[in-house]
Structure 1
């Protein structure tokens, strides 16, 4: 099973290696590592793992690693080592008239999320698979922000005369690095669509 694992650990030489050894001992195959932040003596890293057990099993098995806090574990569809951002941009360049629909369809996989919608004037203009048919933004609509919803975790990104909402039901809140990446992707698609 492919999983994303977000952990906070001491930011010191050997800390990441210690965690990697522990994951290997537990049977995980580390496919990718992304450093999300390094502040105040701690690092927040995200791993993509091929894991033989369940998602909840990962957190339980890492409790004995000194200084490591598991922030979230959730299933992912993102293939490590691929370039889904570039693939999205190539598709938008090939058919700019479908740029926003292509963006909304691609964002869940790009962001480790469940669904995405593009809203304009209070109506859903484009929706990925699994997205609700209706969605209400708070009034006034927010600037680019990652925040918890009622039962889901959200990113809301203004794009031209729309807002793109990306949601996931499992895992930790969207990190500011994820919000920044999604905002940049939305901005690039907007520019390509208007060109």
Structure 2
């Protein structure tokens, strides 16, 4: 089973090694590590791990929480294949068929962002939706810039595409609130897709 773990740990020599050792002792095989931030003496890292057998997010969190000085910010299932470049694949598809740019983007964003679904809204109506996205979605006040909202049981990333009159929404039900590094990456991808789609 592939899991993503978001871990906050002391930013000191050997800190990452201790987490890797603890994960190995628990039977997890680390496939990828992404450093999201290093500030105020702490680091926040995303680990993509392969865990043999079935393990729930709650069980993984419980097992890892025993590490001193380490905080588990989120554990959730992922389909992202470590070492792949899905963002480049997405941009290649959009460059090949720019008229379908936003539909392609919305289909790809859930796997790119470790989320469950995404959609694009224009004038209050859903224009494009990925699998599992709702047919209707109400956005009370569309933001003028990329923001993160922790609403009810969903963590939302709201990405405006002002030139197109669209708002792209990405929703995560499991795992932590979107980190600013994730938001910046997604916003860049949306900007590139918007420029490619504008040429269609």
TM value normalised by structure 2 = 0.95
- Once residues 34 and 133 of structure 2 are traced to their aligned partners in structure 1, the CA distance between those partners, rounded to angstroms, is 27
Confirm or deny: 8 A CA contact 2:142 2:167 kept in the other structure: no
Structure 1 residue aligned with 2:152: 150
Structure 2 residue aligned with 1:173: 177
Runs of 4+, deviation exceeding 4 Å:
none
Counting only pairs closer than 5 Å after superposition, residues 74-85 of structure 1 correspond to structure 2 as 74-85=76-87
Structure 1 residue 162 corresponds to structure 2 residue 166: yes
Confirm or deny: 8 A CA contact 1:142 1:156 kept in the other structure: no
- Once residues 185 and 43 of structure 1 are traced to their aligned partners in structure 2, the CA distance between those partners, rounded to angstroms, is 25
The Cα offsets for residues 29-60 of structure 1, whole Å up to 9 and x where unpaired, read as 10100000001000000000101232222111
Task: Tell me the CA shift for residue 123 of structure 1.
Answer: 0.3
Task: Tell me the CA shift for residue 65 of structure 1.
Answer: 1.1
Query: Which range moved further: 158-167 or 49-58?
Result: 49-58
- Once residues 144 and 75 of structure 2 are traced to their aligned partners in structure 1, the CA distance between those partners, rounded to angstroms, is 28
Counting only pairs closer than 5 Å after superposition, residues 125-140 of structure 1 correspond to structure 2 as 125-140=127-142
Structure 2 residue aligned with 1:22: 22
Task: Tell me the CA shift for residue 131 of structure 1.
Answer: 0.2
Counting only pairs closer than 5 Å after superposition, residues 17-166 of structure 1 correspond to structure 2 as 17-52=17-52, 53-159=55-161, 160-166=164-170
Confirm or deny: 8 A CA contact 2:9 2:70 kept in the other structure: yes
RMSD: 0.9
